[in-house]
Structures are given as structure tokens and as C-alpha cells.
A and B are shown apart, each in its own frame.
Chain A
Amino acid sequence: VTVDPDDELRRLLRDRLAPLDPPPGTFERISRRARRRRTARTTLAVTTTGVVVVGVAVAGLVVGRQLSTAPSGRPTALHPLAGSSGPAPHRYLGWRAIVRTASARPSPTPPSAPPTPAGGPVPQQLSLVNLTWVSSGLGWALGTTPCTNPSCTSIVRTSDGGRSWVGIPAPHARLGTPGLPGCTGSEPCVSQLRFADPLDGYAFGPSLYSTDNGGATWVRRQPGGSVHALEPGAGTVIAVVGGTAATCRPGCQVLAGGVDPTGWRPAGLTVHATSVQLARAGADDAGLLAVDPTGSSPTVFLSRDAGHHWSPLADPCRSGGRATTLTLGTDGSFVVLCQAGRSRWVVSAPPGSRHFGTAHLLPGLAPMCLVSPRAGLLVAAGRARVLASTDGGRRWTDVLLPPAAGTQQGSPTVPFVGFETGRVGRMIAAGRFVYSTSDGGRHWYLVHRFG
């Protein structure tokens, strides 16, 4: 009899195995674990698919724009100063690829979804004062038009990065400067516009109006006083509310919450100031500047949790100066503009730090706007010129001579400069010109001219 080595090995290996009954509850535990993994895998799959779809859509948009604009669609820079290089088509097209904004959470709707409401014609002789963006393409502008009705406030919307605009409904409120005649708080008046996402937006200062349908309808809100500052970001909103129409005296409360104004709650900080500025970076970082020439209390406060808790910052100006402007970079760095008499200087703190570095004088410019897209980069807009610095304010270079024609008496030539990322920013000049930059403010290109 021959022995089959295969059979012998099979007997040796397999026959020694005895079944092992499962401990009680094993199947239920396995089912739960499997269900969790299925959910996680499905979530990952859906997210991945979404990212791919958005990526393809954005790439298609970029290619489409490139084809449709070249060569006649090349943008032009108005009044570039000597020394500043001219616009390059690839630079101009580049900013369209940016899909993130620091001042708002990413758009929950895909880029191809038509924004609501549908929109109509842009009002004639529109003069802009404020811009807000929720993605590289989708933005709104607040402005006014000459009209016989006192409420001539208009809002226009773009879904292609500013190249074309449509008019959408605006709140029935006057557009004015808080505290000045017509905007003293006794009548509805707004001065700024912000959108948290494609649907939720706010027109405010000192009155407050909100929309939850992309601007199709606006509802007046009573948050407990005049709204002096409001900044959305990553699905949250911080607002400074109280005082009179023009000042935070006797005091304003800082409110924080979600996009619905009825859910805003006091954050435990009350400020007394002639004016306040609010700046946000990313989802959680926020800075609040309370400008009070006569006060001795801290003027700068920082929050690292979307405005729910605040801590005062040691006076960054020292040397008898007082802080007049606060700006946060998208990387969490922050810059304070200080003033003493006619002297102005900037001090900066790097990302994550509360310690300011060396002060740098701002040469011969009374800035209306100062913004820092990221650490080291600064853009200052004055009445007649726009300067940029790439070394934290040590050296400044003229980057744009904004057109002044059409600017109303007493109105700033550049009423708005803002950055959505560390490189991409927008500017309004003379109420009619919308500029964009894709390199942190060193070069600006005209995107659209109203009227």
C-alpha cells in the first residue's frame, strides 16, 4: 500500500481543527462595525466623486474662458504706473482657478448650479461701495444709483469672477455713511454687504437686513442695536452691535453664531469706541479693533474660536500711537496700522504669534484701506494711489494709480480692498472699476467697468 503524501498532510493539518463557537454578541458587534465602515467608505466615495466633479468643472471653466477670451478678451490695466509690469493673460486667467475664500465657507453648491435669484439688468450709473465673495466666481457688490426715490440701494451679482454682472433685489434701505445725514439710525440705512454662502447674506451698517435665498428677498432684523461690523466665515458670523448709528458709545456687544441672525448670542465682550473693525481669517481666527482716542482700555482683541471667546492684546502701537486699522492675513498673521499725529506706521505679528515685530513707517500716505493677504504682504490704498509691500512694510511700491473720475465728493477713491486668499484680491476704484489681483496685490488688473 502506497501512502499518498498529499492525503497524509491533509489529515495532519485539517483534522486537528475543531470548530470554535462565537462568544455571545459577536454577530451584532461585527454587524455594527461593518455598518460603520460602509458608511465611512460611502462618505469617502461621495466626497471623492464630488471633488473630481468640481475639479473637472473648474478645469472646464478655465479652459472655456481661455478659449473664449483669447486673444480679444485680454484684460487691461488702467493707469499702471511706470515700473509696474503690464498684465499677462495667464496671470489674469490664473485667479479663476482659486476656489476658496477666507471670508466665507466654500460654496455648498457646485459651480455649475445657477445662482438664485435669476437676476436682471445692472442699474445705470451704478456706484459701488462694497464687495463680497463666496468663491472665486460668485460675488456680490453693493452700490447706489441716481434715482428719485430716496432708497436707491442696488445689489449686483457676478458668477464669473466679475466679468459680467446682473442686478438682484436689494433691501429697501438707503445706502449711506453711518452717522451722516440720512443714515442716523432713525431710518433704514445700510453701508456694507457680506455673504456667508451662496444663499445667506447680510446688508448692514447701521441697520441689518438678511437673506437666506441668495438675495431674492431681504428681511429686516433687529439684533439689539446698530450693526457696526459683521464678518461671516466658515458657516459662522461675528457681529458688533449696539451704541448709536455711528459709534459704539455707550457700548457695543460682540455677537457670534451661525448664519441665521436669530441665533446670534453675546460672546461676553463689550467694547466702547468711536468705531470698530472686525477681521477674520480662516474658520476660527478673528480680530477686533476698537478705536477709542480717549480711552485707556485695550483696543485690540483676538479670538481663536470664531468669536465666542476674546482676549485683549497688549497695545501693539506703543510710543504714544493708537491703532487705527487691523487686518488679518489669510494665514493667521495680523497687521495693525498705528498713528500718532501725522505719522503712521505698521506693526506685524507672524501667523500664530501675538508678538509684534519692528514698526515700519508708511511714507506720505493716509490709507483709506490697509489689508494684508498673508504674512509680509501689505496693500494700502490711499485717496490717489495704491501701494504694496512685500517685506512687512519696510519698502513700499506704487502698484496702481486708481482712476478718480466719477468719485463723489468726500467719497474714498478706493472704498474697498479685500483678499479672499493669500494671493487673490479685489478692489473697487472710483465706484465703477473692479480690479483683481492674483499675486498678493503686486499687480492689479481691471476686470469690469460699470457704466
Chain B
Amino acid sequence: VTEVAVAADFVPAGERDAAASELFAAHYPRLAGWCRGLVDDDDTAHEIAAEAFTRLLARWSGVEDPRGYLYVVAANLVRDHWRRRQRERRAFARVGVRADVGVVAAADPALRVLVEALPDRMRLPVLLHYYADLPISRIADLLGRPEGTVKSDLHDARARLMAALEGQR
């Protein structure tokens, strides 16, 4: 962390700003839209996308794969958001109030709930492979897992999701 942070400051400020601006224009709308498909409202989607970009720009030259980094960070933030929402739902349930009162439903809540319900090891590969369209080899690099493990997790996740979707039809 120390080396990355220090190295980032040796990139000329002008060059860094221009590249950051270009990256933002190219990837923000799609990243925010990706987040919007996973969370309940536009504000939360923007908040997560902005935080992912902030973390990327804060350690700019230390990141080899900016796009992959953005999606991994955003996926982790989405997971944190889901956990927060679960805690809130449980708290509301204890006092007899529905948790989603006043919240705009996501684009495809049924599908999202299924993804949300996947075990941790399957959920992130699904988010990155199917939602963010990253190839398996890059996902394996980003998550630090063997490619075979990622393929296996995706296979298991796909089976679960398809079975659930079949059941809903």
C-alpha cells in the first residue's frame, strides 16, 4: 500500500488528470448502470460508482487493470450495501415495519434477489462475468483465484440461477 501510494504521486499531475477524465467518461455511465441493476435506487448506484472511481484515482498508477479494479471494488461495495440492507430489514422486521417502504424497486428485483442470495464465492464471479462482462482469466487474476476455481464457481452459480429461474416460470 505504501509503495502504491507513493508511486501514484510521481505520475505528473496533468497527465494523471487527463487520463482520469478519459477513463471516467468511458466507464462511469456503464459502471453506474451496472450498480443500478444491483441496488435499489439511482443515488446509491452513483454513490457506489463514485466511491469506486475515487479509490481508483487515489492509487492511480498502482493499478494495472483499471476497469477490472473498478468492478471488483464496486462489487464489494454492492455486497456491503446488501448486507446493510439485510440488517435494516431485520431491524424493521423486529418492529413490524416493511423494509422496502418508500424505496424504488430495482430493474429486475427477482433476478437480483437470486444473485444476492448466492454464496459469497459464487456471487462475485457472477457479478463480474455476467454483469460486467469480464473474461474468466481476468476475474481469476482480480480475485486471486485459479481459473479452474472461478469456472467451477460460475458453473455452480449458473446451475442454481437457472434452476431458480425455471422454477419462477
Contacts and interface: CB of A to CB of B under 8 A. Distances in A.
B150 to A, nearest CB: 14
Contacts of A10: 130
B8 A9 contact: no
Given A38-B58, A48-B2, A20 B32 contact: yes
B45 A41 contact: no
A451 B161 CA distance: 90
Given A13-B111, A30-B50, A42-B9, A22 B32 contact: yes
B111 A21 contact: no
A22 B21 CA distance: 13
A22 B20 contact: no
Interface stretch (B34-42, B82-90, B91-99): B34-42
Chain A interface, >50% SS class: helix
Contacts of A14: 130-131, 133
A56 interface: no
Given A5-B158, A26-B50, A45-B6, A17 B33 contact: yes
B78 interface: no
Contacts of B9: 38, 42
B105 interface: no
A34 interface: yes
B64 interface: no
Interface residues of B, number: 44
Nearest to B131: A13
Nearest to A41: B5
A17 B38 CA distance: 9
A48 to B, nearest CB: 7
A90 interface: no
B54 interface: yes
B47 to A, nearest CB: 10
Interface in A1-45: 5-6, 8-10, 12-14, 16-23, 26-27, 29-31, 33-34, 37-38, 41-42, 44-45
Contacts of B131: 13-14, 17
B74 to A, nearest CB: 12
A31 B42 contact: no
A107 B136 CA distance: 54
A41 B1 contact: yes
B57 A26 contact: no
A9 B34 contact: no
A89 B164 CA distance: 75
B61 to A, nearest CB: 11
Contacts of A26: 28, 46, 50
B107 interface: yes
A22 B130 contact: no
Contacts of B111: 12-13, 16
B130 A41 contact: no
A5 B36 CA distance: 24
A117 B35 CA distance: 63
Contacts of A48: 2
B54 A37 contact: yes
B158 A9 contact: yes
Nearest to B21: A27
Interface string A232-253: 0000000000000000000000
A404 B55 CA distance: 68
A31 to B, nearest CB: 7
B36 A34 contact: no
B28 A22 contact: yes
B58 A41 contact: yes
A16 B107 contact: yes
A9 B5 contact: no
Contacts of B6: 42, 45
Contacts of B107: 16-18
Nearest to A26: B50
B57 to A, nearest CB: 4
Interface of B: 1-2, 5-6, 8-9, 17, 20-21, 24, 28-30, 32-37, 42, 45-46, 49-50, 53-60, 107-108, 111, 115, 126, 130-131, 133, 158, 161-162, 165
Interface of A: 5-6, 8-10, 12-14, 16-23, 26-27, 29-31, 33-34, 37-38, 41-42, 44-45, 48-49
23 contacts: A5-B162, A8-B162, A9-B158, A9-B161, A9-B162, A13-B111, A17-B37, A19-B30, A20-B29, A20-B42, A21-B29, A26-B50, A27-B24, A30-B24, A31-B17, A33-B58, A34-B55, A34-B58, A38-B5, A38-B8, A44-B5, A45-B6, A49-B2
In the A-B complex, the 10 residue pairs with the closest CB atoms:
A34-B57, A19-B29, A41-B5, A20-B32, A37-B58, A13-B130, A34-B58, A45-B2, A20-B33, A19-B33
